Structure 1
Amino acid sequence: MTAPDLQAYIGIIEQLKTSLNSSNFEQMFSLLTADLPKSKQFILKMELKRIGQRCQFFIDLRGLVDGDVKPYPYQGKTHYMDENAIKVFEQGLEQYGSFTVGLYEEVRNTDNNFRVMHRKDTEKRVREALTRVANGNSELEQSADANELLEQPKIIEFGNYISRRDERMNFSIDVAVQTVSHRFTASTSDLSVSGCKIKVRKQQQAKIGQKITLFFTQLEQEFVLEMSNGVPYTIVDIEQHDQFSYWRMKRQPATDENKFSQFLQNFINGNKRRYKVNLDNVSACLLTKGYEQFYLPKLTTLPIFIAVRDNIATPISVLTTDHNKHCWQYFLDEQHKSVLISIINTKRLKTRIDQKSANSNCILYCFTHAVKGKLFYYSATDEELAQTPELRGVFYGFGSSKPSWRVFHFNFSASSAQFADPGSVLPQADEENTEQVSALVKGFIQDIRFMVSLTDITSSDSTLCYQKYTYQQTQLKLLAQFGHKKRSDIPHCEAVPMHYINLRAESRYLYKTAIEIQQADDMPNLTGFSRDFSAKGMQIETEIPVSFAKGDIILLNLPELQKISQKHQLSALAYEVMAVSKSRTIINLKVAGNDNKHSGQVFFQQLIKNNRSKLTQAQETPRYPGLSAALRNMYLQSQNNLQLFMQRKGIRYEINTVAKGKTAHTLHHIMRFGQAKAQNEPPVIELNNILRNSAASLQFAQQLKQMKRFEQGSEFLLFVSVGHKAKNSSDIECKYSYEFANEKAIQDYVSTSLQHGLLFCYRLCLMRTNRPDIEYFAKELNYISTYAIHKAKLLEEELWSVVGVLDVIDISAEIILRYAVNANPATIAQAKLAFLNS
């Protein structure tokens, strides 16, 4: 396809392409391009040579065009084209003289190609939007309308899967609607066995839950329905659109119900190839699951599931990823036992429950103190420190001076085992083939009542701020009230890895071979064997326990493999320790350094490449199969973070998709600030303020380009200042931490903002996403492909365009405490609550 910068010269290209192989091509080219610069002449000639090259590709338009595709033999090859494409192909052969690259592109860009149709439809909608904007009253209104029409982001609600029992067909017929007071005509928008949606004039009033009777007057003219009393329905939803309302209704039991149900089922089955099947809910589910599997493997928050047994709240499981595992490991003591039961104790849970809020947040401060080989934990919430103001400075000053100092965002929410199984969204789903929660997993999660999410928001800047607090050495003994005693009855807490097909950066293969770990000169090498390997890592098992810790660099010898390889040096290979088992005999390693010249890495890459079919791929063997998926679903139902997704469109990076949980995030409220809350209208959010000064295309995109999929994310702080007189989103000021000269400037801004209104602060963690895990939503994709393959391809293209995710955490409370602003946190919290409810 001719590049956009040459579209202005498409007339010249059309005239010259018929003369590409003629003797007078140079003469004609000079004549037609005489008034063009030499640089443009050169580019045009290169383009003509490109489209004139002979093409060896096969043309296969099956599923890509709106037409009947059939075989078309040409010069010993069989192409698959419809009538439009064949016509273009044969005309092109006359113009070009042979099958060329230009002809191949023309055939694949006919007017009935689904991709072309979609592009033209998008361009048409943009033109219409710009036309409406051009008819505005002022230049300012035009700009605002253009942003609303062209930049309105898509909203994804995680964990929200709209299921339908029956297939719903887009089908419009006349019906009569009978309410309690009067009767009027309407038409159906779609139809299923158990419900339908009708289109009525806006002046017809109704309420959700109201019962009506529907008469299928047009169907009765063609079929004998024997439903003289009509069919009873209940209104379950009402949507307002321009001059019409759409009532979504559920059918109620009636006389001869089975007979009418059978008629509808047969009617839909007989016509669903003629009329379009409504795929809205399946498409929405596919996108929701697609964006979920981008976000969840990058989760920096540690979800902790709390079970209540014998009136005692106990953490029984955590959901781990490569990006939150450090939080889990932080709460493991010297015996590798979890101390979460002490940190998330009954008193703190009761405080959160007494808040009488669906979600309750606070700030949790922690540090550890080692005595005689034992690790003791100290922790306090911002609320607990507010009750003992005389110790707050001591806790901050002493705790922040220790390397173990951590600051966590603590979020509490209700949870339940009923959230573990979201069910199937596919109509007429076969229950036997639907994945369900096993009895083993049900037994494990049945007592879960709450979920606590811990997010590590520690930073070097914040630690320096806390270290400014001074204290007396004599006051340190008073910190004992924040310490947690050693417990001998610590219950087991299961660490469950998040499972997705593409979670790992590379596949691992089972392979056992001798290994040696080099020690100091006066000590013999440690011996053992490998358990599995990948190009960039290895898991090994030693014969005796080791004393290595995460981050140590060891030198590894592979004597058996060295015998079969003369090309690679397989001794003194530098590997970094990533994890050590409780038994201290199993070690996870990765290649030390970031270059690609590591001899072991090059050797294993070659080994995998040449022996992939002979190697056995390692598979995870969970203790409770299916528990990871169950906890994942439970987390999605309870989490209240906000996510912004970055997509790559050519060379541009955009943020046009926002994901949220069941409970609205404070930033979500801010992005809707000042909007009229129209009944039954879909939510509209405004991203312009938080993406000011091209933050997405400059700051975020530049970070993302340098980032690898397996790397930890880059963090940004977003400050949102809302003045007392703010009336809409344009009155809200947003600034990023990189816009301030230093920490003092940030502190002044925080103080000034609180004097003149409210201040919100958010930590944005940017990470590069993995490839789409097609297997995760394969059932939905296959179902959509059955009825509309072009729609399935567009949905797939959208997911493949996602390159990054920004996880948004509200850390407003911590910022106020960090900068020691002279303000009452309780008063600020009440003012924010009033603002968010306004």
Structure 2
Amino acid sequence: MTAEDLKEYVGVIERMKSLMNSAEFDQVFSLLTSDLPKSKQFLLKMELKRMAQPCDYFIDLRGHVDGEVRPYVYREKTHYMDDKATQLFESGIKQYGGYTLGVYEEVMNADNNFRVIHKKETAERVKSALQGGELHEESAARSPEQQSSAKLITFGHYVNRNEERMNYGIDVDVKLADSRFIATTSDLSISGCKLKIPKGRTATPGDTITIHFTGLEQEYTLDLPNGIQYQLLDIEQLNKVNYWRLKKLPSAHDNGFSSFLQKFIHGNKRRYKINLDNTTDAVITKGYEQFYLPRLNSLPVYLTVNEGIVSPRFGLTTDYNKAIWHYFLDEQQRSVLITLLAVKRLKQLLAQSGPERSTILYCFTHAAKGKLYFYSATAEDLLAAPELRDTFFGFGAAKPSWRVFHLNLVKTTAQHATELFSLPETAEKAVPAEKIAMTPLVQGVIKNLRYIVSLTDITGNNSGYYQQYRYDPAQLSQLNQFGHRKLPQVPPCEPVPVQYINLRAESRYLYKTTVQLQQNDNLVAGFSRDFSTGGLQIETVQPVKYQKGDVVLLDLIDLQKITNKHQLSQLPYEVMAVSKSQTIMNLRVVPTDDGHTGKQFFQQLIQNNRAKLTLAEETPKYPGLSEALRNMYLKALNNFAFYLHRKGIRYELNVIAQGASPNALHSLLLKHSNNGPLDLEPLLKNSTANLQFAQQLKAMKRFDSPQSYELYIKATRSADNGGISLQSFYDYEFSDEQQKKAFIKSAIHQGSLFAFRLFLSRTGRPDTDYIAKEISYISVYAIHRAKSLEEELWSVAGVGDAVDISRELAWRYQCLEQLADSPHQQILLAD
């Protein structure tokens, strides 16, 4: 591809390709460029020489083009190209006389390359949006194979069965009121069954039905002259066939029949197959939950209500949200969340209507006389004090401590902590749900939990926008009304880490050895508490003045005595956390160009002494509390989670998840899909999953911070049928800031812009121990289904989260007159 300033001379370049190594090159070039300035002639000649340079790049178009890719051997090197690329490759070799950079670039920029298609469509869509016009029909239309419907996972939702159900079809005689007819069982359990009903038969849930098991009576002596009574629970239609779900009613004469069914099912379940639908659903749900929660970017804060007093009690922490927890700690490492989450703010949130109760929270801190003072304001606070809005933004955003949070409030109850999935009691080695109980200690500490507040950092790189607000310095003293008061005593609010498997990148080992570090001009002695190849935890004999992010130089004095191969002095480590006493620090290896010597030493030490070393295992203060809190959060959250699967060389985004209720993005996509299967086209436009998201995941490691994107969706309602039409853009699709700002302001003024911050993280291996019991149970009866489930979970490569930032965007771009939610909410709430 030629440079932008040479595009107008593409004709000259095409004409000169075949003459690059010809004696006629200079003569023909002079004739074709005689009317051009010398500078342009020079650039053209340099470009031609660049394109004619020999190339040894491999070409691999698998997953990158709209065509069938095949191996293509050229000079003992195998490339992977489709027919169009092969044609361009062979034509280019004839023109250039060999495989050159020009040939490579022509092949990689063929018009059926997804990247090229994406770039063209984006330019057209952005141009159309900015001109206020509609997209061309051929660009907007999508073929059926391009339509992307998603599988929806509901977090915390499991269907428990007390008994195993067997897929078993037999004829039964059904008596309903005055009618009688023949039906067929679909499945059978001790206390119920499902019937396949002939056309034309109707009933109402709650009706009593009498069943004679004629099919069984032909083979067994049941002695049931009056049949067995059932109650109709539900009617479902599947593939135009009606199924009735029935529950057996208690009766004095059916004890023998129940005993018969128990023996019959136990003796034939490997022959007729056990119905595994609910167990399969549970594996999928639990599997996706354990990918999502450890990578949670939001900080859930659990609030207790005790004698009318509301206070934060716990924060559910992960490696990805710990920064939020630490941000709200004062100079004494005490949480200030109790003053942040004031009763007045909570009441404002509870009074909201709509798909979620949320607001935007703005914060900054001010240090004076060794103390740290917190200032915060919600969108509602600033609307109530418009005379201080510009001062708060202009002054606060200029501080390094400036943060913007999305704050969301949901209700919870301690009962949600115990609603776990269990295998049927009739299954071998099953543990009944009522036997999975919490300890009295955990029950006591969670009994008064009533609300969960989720804080999500959406600051990004947007502080510059808020610094553009102009203010009068004379008003700064009035910002004290947004300051947090210092409390003499703070009720305890403790961090509780999410616990699944050991999610650390590597194991840690307990080991005590002498260390020494330099603080200013003084040497500070200490010892290690534990180590891994990537870090250390050390304890010093006197307090240190290091903070998170500082780099310390460490000497491993005693370990140096056992190795001459590694130099264990002046080893650079980054401080990750410091204890309240300032004597315990968590350190992480600082990468160096020639490899970190300490990391190399500990790798060899672990490899040679693994059997002798003791693993460091964290003992929680309240065993079982982490599991209880995560169950409560899963049952209450309204986040939008999405997953990327790797299928060979391609990536797919076709699984999303929600909690107890949908958020704005769920609702928007549902209306866009006409209440049918969720269509993810607004998220997946222009092969986003295979291009932008896939390339990002490939460059990320498992413990890297999430990559964030902003998604802007312009929603319009059709005047004809009232349907919703969505036009979406990612922030990276705009060529410059002015173009993005023009689109956003235009859509905000029309009251139809939805904006979301997307966080994308790379996943690791699934926690197979967490679902081992269910997988083992499924494997007994359907090994192929167990393998399919494991393959689905092992193929998860990335997990994402979407947070609504529509209101924050209006503040950011100073469209303050558009803060009334009515146009935005009408789209979601209209029937």
**Shift of the alpha carbon at 1:281?**
0.8
1:575 partnered with 2:573: yes
1:186 partnered with 2:179: no
Distance 2:76 2:473 in 1: 81
Alignment match, 1:685: 678
Alignment match, 1:101: none
**Shift of the alpha carbon at 1:214?**
2.9
Q: Deviations over 1:572-616 (max 9, x none)?
A: 101000000011111000001265710000000001111111110
Q: Matches of residues 496-511 of structure 1 in structure 2 within 5 Å?
A: 496-511=496-511
Alignment match, 1:450: 451
Contact 1:674 1:728 in 2 (8 A): no
Please tell me the residue identity of whatever aligns with 2:656.
Answer: V
Q: Which of residues 749, 752, 758 is equivalent to 2:752? A: 758
Distance 1:313 1:220 in 2: 63
Q: Which of residues 700, 716, 721 is equivalent to 2:714? A: 721
**Shift of the alpha carbon at 1:817?**
1.8
Q: Matches of residues 49-68 of structure 1 in structure 2 within 5 Å?
A: none
Q: Matches of residues 37-186 of structure 1 in structure 2 within 5 Å?
A: 144-147=143-146, 151-180=148-177, 182-186=179-183
Alignment match, 2:240: 243
Distance 1:159 1:40 in 2: 57
**Shift of the alpha carbon at 1:202?**
5.1
Q: Which moved more, 1:602-611 or 1:367-376?
A: 367-376
Alignment match, 1:360: 357
Instruction: Describe the SS at the equivalent of 1:516.
Output: strand
Gaps of 5+ in 2: 1-60, 63-70, 80-136
Alignment match, 1:652: 650
**Shift of the alpha carbon at 1:810?**
1.2
Alignment match, 2:331: 334
Distance 1:520 1:411 in 2: 44
Specify whether residues 331 and 208 from structure 1 end up closer, same or farther in structure 2 by C-alpha distance, changes over 3 A only: farther
Instruction: Describe the SS at the equivalent of 2:682.
Output: coil
Specify whether residues 621 and 393 from structure 1 end up closer, same or farther in structure 2 by C-alpha distance, changes over 3 A only: same
Q: Which moved more, 1:207-216 or 1:502-511?
A: 207-216
Distance 1:724 1:603 in 2: 64
Please tell me the residue identity of whatever aligns with 1:353.
Answer: L
**Shift of the alpha carbon at 1:209?**
4.2
Alignment match, 1:745: 739
TM-score scaled to structure 1, two decimals? 0.80
Please tell me the residue identity of whatever aligns with 2:493.
Answer: C
**Shift of the alpha carbon at 1:494?**
1.3
Alignment match, 2:583: 585
**Shift of the alpha carbon at 1:426?**
0.6
Instruction: Describe the SS at the equivalent of 1:248.
Output: strand
Give the paired residue count: 702
Please tell me the residue identity of whatever aligns with 1:693.
Answer: N
Alignment match, 2:346: 349
Please tell me the residue identity of whatever aligns with 2:259.
Answer: Q
**Shift of the alpha carbon at 1:543?**
0.5
**Shift of the alpha carbon at 1:146?**
3.4
Q: Deviations over 1:290-337 (max 9, x none)?
A: 111111111010000001111101110000001000000011000000
Instruction: Describe the SS at the equivalent of 2:752.
Output: strand
**Shift of the alpha carbon at 1:143?**
5.9
Q: Which moved more, 1:429-438 or 1:414-423?
A: 429-438
Please tell me the residue identity of whatever aligns with 2:539.
Answer: E
1:551 partnered with 2:549: yes
Contact 1:535 1:602 in 2 (8 A): yes
Distance 1:234 1:141 in 2: 51
Q: Which moved more, 1:753-762 or 1:285-294?
A: 753-762
Q: Deviations over 1:192-219 (max 9, x none)?
A: 1122222224543344444433332222
Please tell me the residue identity of whatever aligns with 1:565.
Answer: T
Distance 1:300 1:275 in 2: 46
Distance 2:202 2:255 in 1: 31
Q: Which moved more, 1:704-713 or 1:494-503?
A: 494-503
Q: Deviations over 1:436-473 (max 9, x none)?
A: 3211111110100111001010011x211111111101
Alignment match, 1:474: 474
Please tell me the residue identity of whatever aligns with 1:704.
Answer: L
Q: Deviations over 1:750-771 (max 9, x none)?
A: 2322444511111110100121
Distance 1:785 1:172 in 2: 23
Specify whether residues 326 and 221 from structure 1 end up closer, same or farther in structure 2 by C-alpha distance, changes over 3 A only: same
Specify whether residues 510 and 631 from structure 1 end up closer, same or farther in structure 2 by C-alpha distance, changes over 3 A only: same
Contact 2:166 2:188 in 1 (8 A): yes
**Shift of the alpha carbon at 1:43?**
8.3
Q: Matches of residues 660-671 of structure 1 in structure 2 within 5 Å?
A: 660-671=658-669
Alignment match, 1:781: 775
1:616 partnered with 2:614: yes
Distance 2:556 2:799 in 1: 40
1:492 partnered with 2:492: yes
Please tell me the residue identity of whatever aligns with 1:531.
Answer: R
Q: Deviations over 1:522-574 (max 9, x none)?
A: x2x10111000000100000011111000111110111101101100011101
Overall identity of the aligned pairs, in %: 50
Please tell me the residue identity of whatever aligns with 1:491.
Answer: P
Distance 1:177 1:41 in 2: 74
Specify whether residues 194 and 139 from structure 1 end up closer, same or farther in structure 2 by C-alpha distance, changes over 3 A only: farther
Contact 2:535 2:588 in 1 (8 A): yes
1:708 partnered with 2:709: no
Q: Deviations over 1:802-836 (max 9, x none)?
A: 0101111111111122112254423x346425534
Please tell me the residue identity of whatever aligns with 2:452.
Answer: M
**Shift of the alpha carbon at 1:265?**
0.9
Instruction: Describe the SS at the equivalent of 2:271.
Output: coil
Contact 1:193 1:264 in 2 (8 A): yes
Distance 1:308 1:733 in 2: 44
Contact 1:689 1:730 in 2 (8 A): no
Q: Deviations over 1:155-196 (max 9, x none)?
A: 111111111110111111122333345333221111111222
Specify whether residues 837 and 164 from structure 1 end up closer, same or farther in structure 2 by C-alpha distance, changes over 3 A only: farther
Distance 1:740 1:205 in 2: 57
Distance 2:571 2:662 in 1: 51
Q: Deviations over 1:622-669 (max 9, x none)?
A: 100111111011110111111110111111111121111120122222
**Shift of the alpha carbon at 1:39?**
6.2
Distance 2:593 2:190 in 1: 61
Please tell me the residue identity of whatever aligns with 2:562.
Answer: I
Q: Deviations over 1:405-425 (max 9, x none)?
A: 111111001011111112333
Q: Which moved more, 1:735-744 or 1:210-219?
A: 210-219
Contact 2:751 2:818 in 1 (8 A): no
Distance 1:450 1:181 in 2: 52
Instruction: Describe the SS at the equivalent of 1:633.
Output: helix
1:437 partnered with 2:430: no
Distance 1:613 1:513 in 2: 19
Distance 2:511 2:723 in 1: 59
Q: Deviations over 1:457-509 (max 9, x none)?
A: 0011x211111111101111221211111001210111001112141111100
Please tell me the residue identity of whatever aligns with 1:549.
Answer: Q
Specify whether residues 414 and 211 from structure 1 end up closer, same or farther in structure 2 by C-alpha distance, changes over 3 A only: farther
Specify whether residues 558 and 775 from structure 1 end up closer, same or farther in structure 2 by C-alpha distance, changes over 3 A only: same
Contact 1:201 1:243 in 2 (8 A): no
Q: Which moved more, 1:533-542 or 1:477-486?
A: 477-486
Distance 1:478 1:277 in 2: 70
Contact 1:518 1:572 in 2 (8 A): no
Task: Report the RMSD for the aligned CA atoms in angstroms.
Answer: 2.7
